[in-house]
């Protein structure tokens, strides 16, 4: 077969004119033969089994039903005629409907003969109706039963309205296999195929589209899923290897005065075992010759900040500057103050740079950064600006990484001639295996232990109708000297509405908590940073007892005296967000509470989310549930990892295959790092082709 055969534009395929080609492109991203070949069926219809009419459900899926037409009638409508056939089996009756082609259908359909109909059944009142079904007499159907399993391809409304039905796609696929003679280049080495007993690529492709039987279909699916995951892993792992080999890092060999003095005299508590382990991992990494690119995962409150500080002191011991970036101004402020307090009287020059830093101070910061007299810079995105130049940036810490993209990471890389070490901290735990596949190019450290003495937060779910009781509880807690958060959802599509919800809520809270007795802070996205900080500061200092806010407080805010978190319309939040919010309390010595307020109308998913929150405080546990509910698509970082574009594998359901794929990718690169061996040439070829198309590669060069 000609090597470029699969790059042929789809319009060249017999039966696909320019019109269909356009539709295929806009609806399914199919532009070439290869794209069509990689349009994998969503599922398979067992052509030997039929739905009973009384089993039909409004799921929108295509179904196959065996029955008879009892009579046909024409129904007059305002918008024209439709032809309706009553179709029965032994369990009930349904309707078949046509909006065009009436004459032909009337003349050809046979009454009281067994038919197999195929299509999408929708319920109208108590009756199911199937528009424009594909129909075959049972006798024909049995004759045509060459394959027992009919692939059902992804479809859209526009496709079917333009006549590109499942049957038409099946025909196109047949044509493609005819022209190619079903012969496709192999892309996995014999060694791997033998070890895993994989069927060949051609066999897999044929059986994914025209399965001969269940067993071959399963083999085809396994082979193609493995291959897809294998190449993603190969990319991630080789990228990591190249980084480690080629990108020289700054070796931080010395553990010096700054680190030791802090450890001996300033550290306010004993580090947890997990913190110690993680610091060691980072120290080893930064002490080697390679540039560090490490993800630090740890639940809210697990104490990531002090780990970051100690790493920055290590940089300082080796004569380098560091920076710590946070996604919001509030958080940057809090980090700045927190670090200053931890450092106490130590001779470390630290500064804060955000969007609202005054120009005069900014100028001083720029100068000190360039001369090297400024040791640690804390800030927001402002740190990334080109004007901000360091004398020798050695370590960049990024807090709450999901707010930062790849582009920003790469900007940091270029802040120094030799790229600085990078430590990304995140409080959104993701299951470990998944983390490895999403961030296969990063090293991962995990703080899996909370500092001692924390009382687990008590979480309850209450309905809006119990609001008064909740208010009474809040008042009791405030009497004991505690502070309370009340959080409202913020969903960007309806910002105005969210704002109104918040303001209505604020007013009602103000009524129940009158200013004669209570002080209330309010923080939301529409406020100027200065006002936000002012309100926040009042709450931090304990001048206000209540903080009414949108999710701007989600990230990182630390007020140990706040012990109650009320989440309004909790059903509208995702699990990880709920968990993040809850993490704002439980930071002091007192028992903390989280109350999830909802209406009575709850979806099944919402119920699961609420139950999970009530059941557990463990972020990794919550992450597993979240992953199952939402799938990997919505998880942080997946957009950047290429795993979203998987055509056949599913990183959650196919996690076992993923592990196998990862293992084999690692073995391959161990034995043949540059893919030079003869036996691996086909892998190299496929890999090179992929790299040309992939953007993952970009940010490492
Ligand atoms: P996060 O991981 O959410 O960023 P922080 O670094 O803000 O957590 O730490 C949460 C709180 O726990 C802070 O008040 C911090 O001082 C405290 N803390 C951190 N480590 C310890 C420890 N080993 N023992 C006691 N308290 C600790
Ligand atoms: Mg933090």
pLDDT at 697: 35
The two tokens of residue 249 are: 């890092």
pLDDT tens-digit readout, 189-243 = 999 999 999 999 999 999 999 998 889 999 999 999 999 999 988 988 888 787 7
pLDDT tens-digit readout, 267-278 = 999 999 999 999
> Whose C-alpha lies nearest to ligand 1, atom 9?
303
Distance between CA atoms of 606 and 567, rounded to whole angstroms?
14
Fold of 257-288+303-426: Rossmann fold (3.40.50)
Probe residue for ligand 1, chosen from 451, 452, 457 as the CB with the greatest number of ligand atoms within 8 Å: 451
Ligand 2 centroid–CA 299 distance in Å is 9
Q: Does domain 48-146 have CATH number 2.40.50.140?
A: yes
pLDDT tens-digit readout, 67-80 = 999 999 998 877 78
C-alpha 81: how far from chain center: 48
Nearest to 587 by CA among 542, 553, 617, 557: 557
Q: What burial class does residue 71 get, using C-beta atoms within 10 Å of its C-beta: 0-12 exposed, 13-18 middle, 19+ buried? A: exposed
104-113, 322-331, 493-502: segment of lowest average pLDDT:
493-502
CB 375 within 8 A of CB 530: no
> Whose C-alpha lies nearest to ligand 1, atom 14?
587
3-class DSSP assignment, residue 80: strand
pLDDT at 270: 95
Probe residue for ligand 1, chosen from 262, 304, 305 as the CB with the greatest number of ligand atoms within 8 Å: 305
On the CB side of 171, CA atoms within 13 Å amount to: 10
In sequence order, what are the residues at sequence separation of 6 or more whose Cβ sits closer than 8 angstroms to the Cβ of residue 29? 35
CB 502 within 8 A of CB 550: yes
pLDDT at 690: 76
2-6, 377-381, 555-559, 606-610: segment of lowest average pLDDT:
555-559
E strand residue ranges, 78-172: 80-89, 92-98, 114-120, 122-124, 127-131, 134-137, 149-152
pLDDT at 112: 93
E strand residue ranges, 279-368: 293-298, 321-325, 350-353
C-alpha 278: how far from chain center: 25
pLDDT at residue 94 above 50? yes
pLDDT at 513: 95
Q: Which residues line ligand 1 (CB under 6 A)?
A: 269, 271-272, 275, 298, 300-306, 427, 451, 558, 587
**Average pLDDT value for residue range 561-589:** 90
In sequence order, what are the residues at sequence separation of 6 or more whose Cβ sits closer than 8 angstroms to the Cβ of residue 413? 419, 420, 422, 699
Indicate which atom in ligand 1 lies nearest the CA of residue 272: 23
In sequence order, what are the residues at sequence separation of 6 or more whose Cβ sits closer than 8 angstroms to the Cβ of residue 580? 300, 427, 428, 554, 555
**CATH class of the domain comprising 458-616:** alpha beta
The two tokens of residue 112 are: 């009281």
Ligand 1 centroid–CA 385 distance in Å is 30
Indicate which atom in ligand 1 lies nearest the CA of residue 338: 16
Average per-residue pLDDT in the chain? 87
pLDDT tens-digit readout, 666-678 = 999 999 988 999 9
Residue 636 confidence class, pLDDT cut points 50, 70, 90: very low
**Average pLDDT value for residue range 369-394:** 94
**Proportion of the chain above pLDDT 90, given as a percent:** 52
Indicate which atom in ligand 1 lies nearest the CA of residue 560: 14
Return the exposure string of 560-571: e unless at least 16 CB atoms fall within 10 Å of the residue's CB, then b: ebbbbbbbbbbb
**Average pLDDT value for residue range 99-109:** 83
In sequence order, what are the residues at sequence separation of 6 or more whose Cβ sits closer than 8 angstroms to the Cβ of residue 456? 586, 617
The two tokens of residue 165 are: 């039905």
Decide if 1-41+151-183 and 257-288+303-426 have a common fold. no
**Average pLDDT value for residue range 642-647:** 63
> Whose C-alpha lies nearest to ligand 1, atom 10?
301
Q: Which residues pair with 55 in a beta bridge?
A: none
**Average pLDDT value for residue range 404-420:** 76
The residue behind tokens 């528009």 is 131
Indicate which atom in ligand 1 lies nearest the CA of residue 307: 6
pLDDT at 443: 83
> Whose C-alpha lies nearest to ligand 1, atom 25?
451
CB 75 within 8 A of CB 99: no
pLDDT at residue 408 above 80? no
Distance between CA atoms of 327 and 65, rounded to whole angstroms?
56
Give the other-Cβ count within 10 Å of 117's Cβ: 23
Distance between CA atoms of 188 and 485, rounded to whole angstroms?
56
CB 619 within 8 A of CB 611: no
Ligand 2 centroid–CA 305 distance in Å is 6
Ligand 2 centroid–CA 300 distance in Å is 7
Indicate which atom in ligand 1 lies nearest the CA of residue 270: 23
Q: Which CATH architecture has domain 1-41+151-183?
A: Orthogonal Bundle (1.10)
pLDDT at residue 55 above 80? yes
Q: Which alpha helices (DSSP H) does 373-524 contain, by range?
A: 406-413, 432-438, 467-479, 495-512
Residue 321 confidence class, pLDDT cut points 50, 70, 90: very high
Ligand 2 centroid–CA 535 distance in Å is 20
Ligand 2 centroid–CA 567 distance in Å is 20
> Whose C-alpha lies nearest to ligand 1, atom 24?
451
In sequence order, what are the residues at sequence separation of 6 or more whose Cβ sits closer than 8 angstroms to the Cβ of residue 459? 582, 593, 594, 595, 596, 613, 614, 617
Euclidean distance between the first and final Cα of the chain, in Å?
A: 35
pLDDT at 550: 84
pLDDT tens-digit readout, 342-375 = 999 999 999 999 998 999 999 999 999 999 999 9
pTM reported for the whole predicted model = 0.67
Hey, where are the domains in the chain?
1-41+151-183, 48-146, 257-288+303-426, 458-616
Probe residue for ligand 1, chosen from 303, 309, 336, 585 as the CB with the greatest number of ligand atoms within 8 Å: 303
Probe residue for ligand 1, chosen from 266, 273, 296, 301 as the CB with the greatest number of ligand atoms within 8 Å: 301
The residue behind tokens 């080789």 is 238
Ligand 2 centroid–CA 498 distance in Å is 26
Q: How many residues does the chain have?
A: 701
pLDDT at 147: 65
């Amino acid at each position: 077969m000609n090597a470029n055969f699969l790059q042929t534009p789809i319009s060249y395929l017999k039966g696909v004119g320019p019109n269909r080609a356009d539709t295929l492109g806009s609806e399914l991203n199919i532009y070439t033969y290869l794209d069509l070949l990689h349009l994998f069926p969503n599922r398979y219809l067992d052509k030997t089994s039929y739905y009973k009419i009384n089993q039909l459900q409004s799921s929108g899926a295509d179904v196959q039903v065996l029955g008879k037409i009892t009579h046909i009638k024409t129904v007059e409508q305002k918008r024209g005629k439709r032809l309706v056939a009553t179709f029965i089996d032994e369990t009930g009756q349904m309707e078949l409907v046509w909006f065009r082609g009436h004459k032909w259908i009337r003349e050809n359909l046979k009454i009281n003969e067994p038919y197999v109909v195929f299509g999408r059944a929708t319920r109208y009142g108590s009756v199911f109706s199937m528009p424009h079904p594909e129909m075959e007499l049972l006798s024909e159907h049995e004759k045509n039963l060459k394959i027992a399993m009919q692939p059902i391809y992804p479809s859209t409304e526009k496709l079917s309205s333009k006549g590109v039905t499942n049957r038409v796609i099946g025909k196109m696929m047949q044509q493609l296999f005819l022209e190619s003679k079903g012969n496709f280049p192999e892309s996995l080495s014999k060694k791997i195929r033998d070890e895993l007993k994989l069927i060949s690529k051609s066999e897999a492709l044929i059986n994914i589209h025209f399965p001969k039987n269940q067993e071959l279909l399963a083999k085809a699916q396994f082979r193609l899923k493995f291959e897809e995951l294998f190449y993603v892993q190969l990319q991630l792992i080789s990228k990591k290897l190249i980084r480690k080999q080629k990108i020289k890092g700054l070796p931080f060999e010395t553990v010096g005065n700054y680190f030791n003095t802090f450890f001996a005299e300033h550290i306010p508590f004993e580090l947890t075992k997990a913190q110690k382990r993680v610091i060691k991992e980072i120290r080893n990494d930064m002490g080697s010759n390679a540039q560090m690119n490490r993800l630090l995962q740890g639940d809210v409150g697990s104490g990531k900040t002090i780990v970051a500080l100690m790493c920055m002191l290590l940089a300082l011991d080796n004569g380098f500057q560091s920076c710590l970036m946070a996604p919001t101004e509030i958080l940057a402020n809090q980090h700045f103050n927190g670090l200053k307090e931890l450092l106490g009287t130590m001779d470390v020059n630290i500064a804060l740079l955000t969007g609202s830093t005054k120009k005069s101070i900014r100028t001083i910061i720029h100068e000190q950064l360039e001369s090297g007299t400024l040791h640690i810079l804390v800030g927001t995105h402002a740190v990334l600006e080109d004007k901000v130049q360091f004398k020798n940036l050695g370590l960049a810490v990024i807090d709450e990484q999901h707010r930062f993209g790849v582009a920003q990471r790469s900007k940091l890389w270029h802040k120094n001639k030799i790229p600085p070490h990078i430590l990304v901290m995140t409080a959104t735990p993701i299951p470990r295996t998944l983390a490895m596949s999403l961030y296969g190019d990063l090293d991962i450290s995990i703080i899996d232990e909370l500092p001692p003495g924390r009382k687990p937060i008590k979480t309850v779910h209450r309905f809006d109708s119990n609001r008064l009781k909740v208010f009474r509880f809040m008042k009791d807690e405030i009497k004991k000297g505690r502070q309370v958060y009340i959080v409202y959802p913020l969903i960007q599509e309806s910002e105005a509405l969210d704002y109104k919800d918040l303001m209505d809520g604020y007013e009602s809270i103000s009524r129940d908590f009158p200013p004669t007795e209570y002080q209330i802070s309010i923080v939301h996205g529409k406020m100027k940073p200065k006002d936000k900080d002012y309100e926040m500061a009042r709450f931090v200092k304990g001048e206000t007892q209540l903080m009414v806010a949108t999710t701007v407080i989600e990230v990182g805010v630390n007020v140990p005296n706040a012990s109650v978190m009320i989440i309004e319309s909790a059903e509208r939040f995702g699990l990880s967000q709920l968990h993040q919010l809850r993490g704002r309390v439980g930071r002091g010595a007192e028992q903390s509470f989280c109350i999830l307020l909802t209406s009575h109308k709850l979806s099944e998913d919402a119920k699961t989310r609420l139950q999970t929150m009530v059941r557990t405080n463990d972020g990794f546990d919550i992450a597993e549930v979240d992953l199952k509910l939402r799938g990997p698509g919505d998880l942080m970082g997946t957009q950047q990892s290429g795993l979203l574009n998987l055509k056949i594998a599913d990183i959650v359901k196919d996690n076992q295959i993923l592990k196998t794929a990862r293992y084999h990718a690692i073995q391959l690169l161990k034995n043949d790092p540059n893919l030079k061996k003869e036996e691996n040439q086909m892998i190299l070829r496929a890999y090179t082709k992929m790299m040309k198309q992939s953007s993952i590669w970009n940010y490492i060069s």
